[in-house]
Amino acid sequence: MRNFLSLLEKQDQKRIALISPSGHHRLAELMTRAHERRSNALVGVRHAVVRNSAIDQFIVDLLAFDGFLKAFLLQPRSENIFSDWEGFAGSTYGTPLCSGEMTSWVMGTSGTTGTPKLIPHNLASLTATTKTDLAIGARHHWGLLYDPARFAGLQVLLQALISGAVLVAPEIEQGLDSALDFMAEHGVTSLSATPSYWRKILMSPAVDSLKLTQLTLGGEIADQAILSALRRAFPEGRIVHIYASTEAGVGFSVGDDKAGFPFDYLADGGLKGVQLRVRDDGHLLIRKIHNSGPSFNGEFFDTEDIVEVKADRVHFLGRASGTINVGGNKVTPETVEAILCSHPSVVAARVFRKPNSLMGNLVVAEVQISASASTEITVNALNEFCRAHLERWQCPASIRVVEHIGLAASGKLSRTVNHG
């Protein structure tokens, strides 16, 4: 496979490839800077760390390093978690690539449910599902809300640049409303976010100015409540939830406006290039048949996601590492959150464990309610609602109304908070 820089050589070099607060950047400018970086700045480099600072320089570094160095590490802007890079890289990562070798793009998992891990990919594994039709790509402006040094953000960046679309990258630190206004001003048609992030987008007054034709969800379970809410807000848009992870890469996508995925996906040949299995303990296993990338090695990979088969649908229940043990019964926080978010007064929810000497743990919930809802009435109604839709041990021992539900840097709900 060709490197990132060569993939863009046949595109219109005069086209605007990036719009950011620093201005409009043509493809020719980015590629020229990448060539200069290779010629002038990489002499004697043993390895490289690509930090998310200015988005145009971030792209230039990706173009310059891929196919030139043996490996580089992607460093998110908000974290400094990769102190072991020197040990991971070793002395060989600065040597020239041999014929046929591919550069390793090393990135960290989000760390939402545990310690972040370093995962190597390459351009082939990162772009296995990337759309490459330049005629179609030219119709799209992709908005970037994720950190591009994370897997989800990198997917948006690669999709936009390789397909010939325009990447619109607002300054997220200035606030979500400002970012949405920037994207609306510059004609964003396609946007990707976690379900938790989409809930915040739908609460923003700036959402009314967006004219989206492509909406993508990933990183968390896309429950029916958020899928239905997006359909109401964007009746003409194409809504797709993507199953992907830093470790596994992109697995598959679902675009039928329903939570979960069809049972047929579990059959051999049900998905192109991917095999799925459900283990006896409910863990979803995945194996890439083609373009497997460095983290698979042709074997089934335990995603650690727990699923449940109901009739002709497979539903996600939550992460195995995040289950709450309540008196010997296992509760997945995502299951309880999905029920809470299906109540008409709730716009977002987060569920935690609370240590308890008798039961081991109790389930505790935080909810953000709509402006028209009464706090006292809503809490009472939610307790009744949970008892009607959940098993006794799944029901929250307490429900607290908060002004907003905070998200981790990855755009996901943080699972590390302990209400002790």
> Does a structural domain hold residue 248?
yes
20 pLDDT more than 60? yes
Higher-scoring residue by pLDDT: 72, 268: 72
Residues 245 and 331 in one domain: no
Residues 241 and 335 in one domain: no
pLDDT at 117: 76
Q: Which of 198-207, 262-271, 375-384 has the highest mean pLDDT?
A: 198-207
> Does a structural domain hold residue 416?
no
- Residue in 305, 270, 265 with CA at minimum distance from that of residue 285: 305
Residues 91 and 178 in one domain: yes
Residues 31 and 153 in one domain: yes
The pLDDT tens digits for 154-193 are 999 999 999 999 999 999 888 999 999 999 999 999 999 9
> Does a structural domain hold residue 150?
yes
Q: For residues 192 and 211, give the distance between their C-alpha atoms in angstroms, rounded to a whole number.
A: 14
- Secondary structure of residue 216 in the 3-state scheme: strand
Residues 331 and 252 in one domain: no
Number of domains composing the chain: 2
User: Residue 23 has which token pair?
Assistant: 């201005």
Structural domain that includes position 336? 323-401
Q: For residues 124 and 7, give the distance between their C-alpha atoms in angstroms, rounded to a whole number.
A: 12
> Does a structural domain hold residue 184?
yes
> Does a structural domain hold residue 414?
no
CA-CA distances (angstroms) from residue 81 to 57, 78, 84, 117, 205?
21, 10, 8, 9, 35
> Does a structural domain hold residue 290?
no
Q: Could you tell me which residues come within 8 angstroms of residue 356 by beta carbon, excluding any fewer than 6 positions away?
A: 362
**For range 41-68, the mean pLDDT:** 82
> Does a structural domain hold residue 125?
yes
The domain spanning residue 58 has which CATH number?
Answer: 3.40.50.12780
pLDDT at 284: 94
Q: For residues 4 and 157, give the distance between their C-alpha atoms in angstroms, rounded to a whole number.
A: 12
Residues 100 and 232 in one domain: yes
Residues 122 and 202 in one domain: yes
**For range 334-357, the mean pLDDT:** 94
The domain spanning residue 330 has which CATH number?
Answer: 3.30.300.30
Q: For residues 368 and 343, give the distance between their C-alpha atoms in angstroms, rounded to a whole number.
A: 11
> Does a structural domain hold residue 36?
yes
Token pair 């020719």 in the structure block, residue: 28
Phi and psi at 258, nearest 5°, equal -120, 145
